């Protein structure tokens, strides 16, 4: 549902991204582990979001494809 909201409203999507950037900069967990600095970097947050969107778009395309079994159905049919 969240993805649908972001796709249907550019304003909402922009606000969510801004909130994530602020959270990344202020969250104590961002100070721990190997990605502590990256999680605070707005460029990283933006790139991570873009990658997530690209993955979601690919998943959507895959969902719309017919199954391989359907594609190969005619090839598996006995010859007349």
Overall average pLDDT of the 19-40 stretch: 72
CB 24 within 8 A of CB 45: yes
CA atoms of 9 and 18, how far apart (whole Å):
14
The whole model's pTM is what? Answer: 0.43
Residues 6+ apart with CB under 8 A from 21: 42, 45, 46
* Higher-scoring residue by pLDDT: 74, 44: 44
Q: Which helix (H) or strand (E) holds 31?
A: none
* Higher-scoring residue by pLDDT: 34, 40: 40
Name residue, tokens 């909130």: 19
CA atoms of 33 and 15, how far apart (whole Å):
27
End-to-end CA distance of the chain: 49
The domain segmentation of the chain, as residue ranges, is: 11-65
Quote the tokens at residue 36: 């502590």
* 2-20: pLDDT as tens digits: 888 788 888 888 888 888 8
40 pLDDT exceeds 70? yes
41 pLDDT exceeds 90? no
């Amino acid at each position: 549902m969240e993805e649908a909201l972001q796709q249907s409203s550019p304003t909402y999507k922009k606000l969510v991204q801004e909130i994530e950037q602020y959270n990344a900069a202020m969250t104590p967990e961002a100070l721990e582990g190997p990605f502590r600095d990256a999680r605070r970097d707005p460029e990283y947050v933006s790139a991570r979001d873009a990658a997530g969107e690209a993955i979601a778009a690919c998943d959507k395309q895959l969902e719309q494809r017919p199954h391989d079994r359907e594609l190969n159905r005619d090839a598996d049919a006995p010859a007349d």
